[in-house]
Amino acid sequence: MTQSSSTPNSDDSPRPASGYEGDISPLLAWQWVQAGQAVLVDVRSDAERAWVGSVPGAQAVAWKQWPGMAPNTSFDEELQACVPPGGTVVLLCRSGVRSVAAAQRATQLGLKAYNILEGFEGDRDAELHRGTLGGWRARGLPWEQS
């Protein structure tokens, strides 16, 4: 499995990856979504989005569901309903790991798929907390909480 790094490219261009188009920074993902060049799909569980926060306008297609983190057996159909055939999708999870697996699957389904580095919450800090070292939220990109 490809691991993502929390440090975006200095030129903010996509990084090549194995089994999918590549890894991109949260900022580049947001720019593509705003320009209509990609669909943003949040692959976190419903519970994570409800408790931690979500990106306004993102499509919610869980890769795994809580409790138990069982695979979402409807992932393929739900993803294909959100992204046009051959379209570009940028995938977001908590830390940029589950979204790699989702990007690989999206590629197998014929989509141009990118993993968003750092995820929504970023890496853990010295106190083992997320939300301060990178990530969608810490980078000041749009998000909301219920």
Each residue's pLDDT tens digit, 46-72: 999 999 999 999 999 999 998 888 999
Q: What is the pLDDT of residue 137?
A: 94
Every domain of the chain and the residues it spans? 22-116
Each residue's pLDDT tens digit, 132-144: 888 999 999 999 9
**CA separation for the pair 25, 107 (Å, rounded):** 19
Each residue's pLDDT tens digit, 62-114: 999 988 889 999 999 999 999 999 999 999 999 888 999 999 999 999 999 99
User: Which residue do the tokens 């306008």 mark?
Assistant: 57
Backbone angles phi, psi at 112, to 5 degrees: -90, 100
The highest-level CATH class for domain 22-116 is alpha beta
